[in-house]
Structure 1
Amino acid sequence: MPSGLFDLWRRLAAITVTLLIAAAWAPAAAHAGPAAARHDVITWGASADRMGDAVPDHSYRLIVHTSVGGDGLRIRLSNAFGDQPVTFDSAYAGLQREGAELVPGSNRHLTFGGARSVTVPAGDTTYSDPLPGRLPAATTLVVSLHTAQAAGTATGHSMAMQTSYAANGDHASEEGADNWTEQIGSWFYLDSVTVRTAAQTGAVVTLGDSITDGWQSTTDLDRRWPDYLSRRLQSAHDPSVKGVANEGISGNKVLADGAGQSALNRLERDVLSHPGVRTVFLFEGVNDIKAHTGVTAQDMIDGYRTISERAHAAGKCVVGATIAPFKGWSEWDPAAESVRLQVNEFIRDSGEFDAVTDFDRTLRSPYDHERILPFFDGGDHLHPNDKGMQAMADSVNVGDLSAC
């Protein structure tokens, strides 16, 4: 390349990087009117669970994709399942360039009550201080943490469907990738990101199992059905619901603990405790049914009613989604199918929910209503592929997300 052209290319590259940083961390605009005209809204979330042994003097570089944009970014660190305190002495938020490498100049340190270090007691959570500047919608955010002291049980989210990174020692402040050689498929300690935005803008939280968590969608491409829904919401003219938090856990059940606490037991922490939540989107139940533990349709209905009542009491809308077909999965049998049909009839016709999304009708084969349409089948006859995930998101009436 001629030297003149190379110099031009280098200047353009530098300008591009500068613009990226400026756009992502732009100073928040002045807002007229009272402070009540703005509030915090969750822009990303992942359900917390037990994650094996906690590791001291370890760094985590966690890649997450946000939904709604805003200023005053905050992260929430969770030690919900820890049996000992965890001390974080280094926490940063930056922008992904590629892999573990950050956009130069984008990595900014986070504080907690004005301090760089924070100790989260066992069973507790803590928020960072608001970070000045505005974060645009749909940003690939990188949160880097260092555990100065950690022991006992770690807290995190196991099946992220996203490559993140880990390293021994404290490398949270580094923007390069040299020390981040360990790839991980889980998120540790981070369970939400929030921003401050207009008071009329809220969020939907999707409460579900592995289908919501994204199993069988393509890793690192944000093709879970809540991701597709988020893209629809960011481009929608209605400003009322823009935030999306995915609170799915693979294997999760409505009624019984196991793969994570049950939906009933985690509703407060994983849904209602988050700021700016307008709507609870309930899509869960297939794991209760296929487990053959004697759970009846009435048991499921009672669980749904309890979740709906608690969410309504907290002032939230509730959207119920029908359970998708799963014939061909090893645990399917006519008895489980009978319970699924009864539960779906309740979801559609009971009036318990403010709105209903019929994922059953979206995903089922027109030739066999007990099976997923092969075009949408991820291969195991239970989990949709990318096309199925998109079809699910496209079937949601976005107006229903602010139906009350």
Structure 2
Amino acid sequence: MTARFARAVRPAAVLLLAAAVQVPAAAEAAPARHDVVTWGAAADRMGEGTADRSYRLVVRTSAGGDGLRVRLSNAFGDRPVTFGSVHAGVRLTGAELVPGSNRPLTFGGARSVTVPAGATVRSDPLPGKVPAGTDLVVSLHTPDAAGPATGHGMAMQTSYAARGDHAAEESAAAWTDTIGSWFYLDAVTVRTSATTGAVVALGDSITDGWQSSTDLNRRWPDYLARRLRAADGTSVKGVANEGISGNKVLADGAGQSALNRLERDVLSHPGVRTVFLFEGVNDIKAHTGVTAGDLIAGYRQIVDRAHKAGKCVVGATVGPFKGWSEWDPAAEAVRQEVNAFVRDSGEFDAVADFDRILRSPYDQERILPFFDNGDHLHPNDKGMQALADAVDVEALDCAARRLE
């Protein structure tokens, strides 16, 4: 599905949610329902928290449903953090919300919540329907935050901040500071049919969206979400983007390693059916002595842990990066060996050959110039869309087949 089509349907989605959140949804007779993650962002350490600060965070839903819940994270804090007020609404434009859409969230019935160091908390369900493809806005206030904050550094989305508590306000007047990160919010879920599932993209900067167009939702998982929304051949509708720029499979550094954050960033989300593993180039190009065998062993651990949790795993081949400063023939040899394992080992439930999509036919160690943003590693918007278009959406339902 094209970005142009996504923009065309967004106003209708906004109006639907604005109407729905004013009147609690009627009780559903069908019992077969569950929570599904509709948005996610990998948690990381964000520097020092700021007291008496409000954040207005803009995110895009994937799966639609009702009973919206948010997850707030203090995973990297060294002391408790209190959220004095938390609201959810629908964006009209910039920091301004659709009138009547901004509603308070509660936690165990209370308007405020204190989250211990290292912990997360989920809000109570919010009555009302949330359509797929909605620009959801979560506003929160931290009255006494201090010490390390938790969030996601590279959002590729403009959000807003303000001094004092302005979470309940729908006007943009107080929200004069623009920010490019998400603070404390790491997941949004909705309640929907029990047959609906989600896929979590576990990756690095390419999944995180680096060099895609800011504020246009053109990361490859965004394009995939639009495809899934329109697809009849799959019941996977939720997409959580758990990429971190610079992330590695084996070693901490730019965020915790994929192995160390797998439980929190992937397996803990409700409704997850499939893990989509697209990571490894940072392990390869770092020249730290990582061998193909090392990386393959890391992949096997992720596959094994995901399978034990009842999820299936789609493996993606590592894309070309010749021309990037850290490329050399030795790194290329590791990449080729790793990709041969992904394609041919049979250890993944399905394979997405992203290397084949991105590489130039004239030099298969290089990214195709049409997809290259200029640094010879990261795809541009067209490359991001090509990756999403290469995913077999029916393969994302592989868990249902594997567990039969």
TM-score bracket for the superposition, by shorter chain length: over 0.9
Residue deviations 1:154-177, cap 9 Å, x none? Answer: 000000000000011101011111
Residue deviations 1:218-254, cap 9 Å, x none? Answer: 0000000000000000001135200000000000000
CA–CA distance in 1 between the matches of 2:298 and 2:186?
25
SS in 2 for 1:340: helix
- Deviation, structure 1 residue 29: 4.6
What percentage of residue pairs aligned between the two structures are identical?
A: 78
1:6 corresponds in structure 2 to none
- Deviation, structure 1 residue 190: 0.1
SS in 1 for 2:71: strand
CA–CA distance in 2 between the matches of 1:322 and 1:16?
35
| Residue 71 (structure 1) aligned with residue 59 (structure 2) | no
CA–CA distance in 1 between the matches of 2:359 and 2:44?
31
| Residue 174 (structure 1) aligned with residue 197 (structure 2) | no
CA–CA distance in 2 between the matches of 1:376 and 1:314?
36
SS in 1 for 2:330: helix
2:8 corresponds in structure 1 to none
Structure of larger gyration radius? 1
Residue deviations 1:247-288, cap 9 Å, x none? Answer: 000000000000000000000000000000000000000000
SS in 2 for 1:95: strand
Match of 1:251 among 225, 246, 249: 246
CA–CA distance in 1 between the matches of 2:218 and 2:14?
27
SS in 2 for 1:141: strand
Match of 1:31 among 28, 31, 40: 28
Residue deviations 1:188-237, cap 9 Å, x none? Answer: 00000000000000000000000000001000000000000000000011
| Residue 298 (structure 1) aligned with residue 293 (structure 2) | yes
1:264 corresponds in structure 2 to 259
| Residue 183 (structure 1) aligned with residue 182 (structure 2) | no
Contact 2:284-2:335 within 8 A present in 1 as well = yes
CA–CA distance in 2 between the matches of 1:133 and 1:71?
5
Contact 1:26-1:135 within 8 A present in 2 as well = no
Code of the aligned partner of 2:74: N
TM-score, normalised with respect to structure 2: 0.94
Contact 1:84-1:150 within 8 A present in 2 as well = no
Aligned length: 388
In the TM superposition, 1:268-279 aligns within 5 A as 268-279=263-274
CA–CA distance in 2 between the matches of 1:287 and 1:18?
42
| Residue 22 (structure 1) aligned with residue 19 (structure 2) | yes
1:322 corresponds in structure 2 to 317
1:153 corresponds in structure 2 to 148
2:35 corresponds in structure 1 to 40
CA–CA distance in 2 between the matches of 1:174 and 1:24?
16
SS in 2 for 1:149: coil
Match of 1:222 among 217, 223, 228: 217
TM-score, normalised with respect to structure 1: 0.94
Code of the aligned partner of 2:130: L
SS in 1 for 2:262: helix
1:11 corresponds in structure 2 to none
Q: 5+ unaligned residues in a row in structure 1: which ranges?
A: 1-14
| Residue 362 (structure 1) aligned with residue 372 (structure 2) | no
Residue deviations 1:48-103, cap 9 Å, x none? Answer: 00000011110000000010000100000000000011000110000001100111
Q: 5+ unaligned residues in a row in structure 2: which ranges?
A: 1-11, 400-404
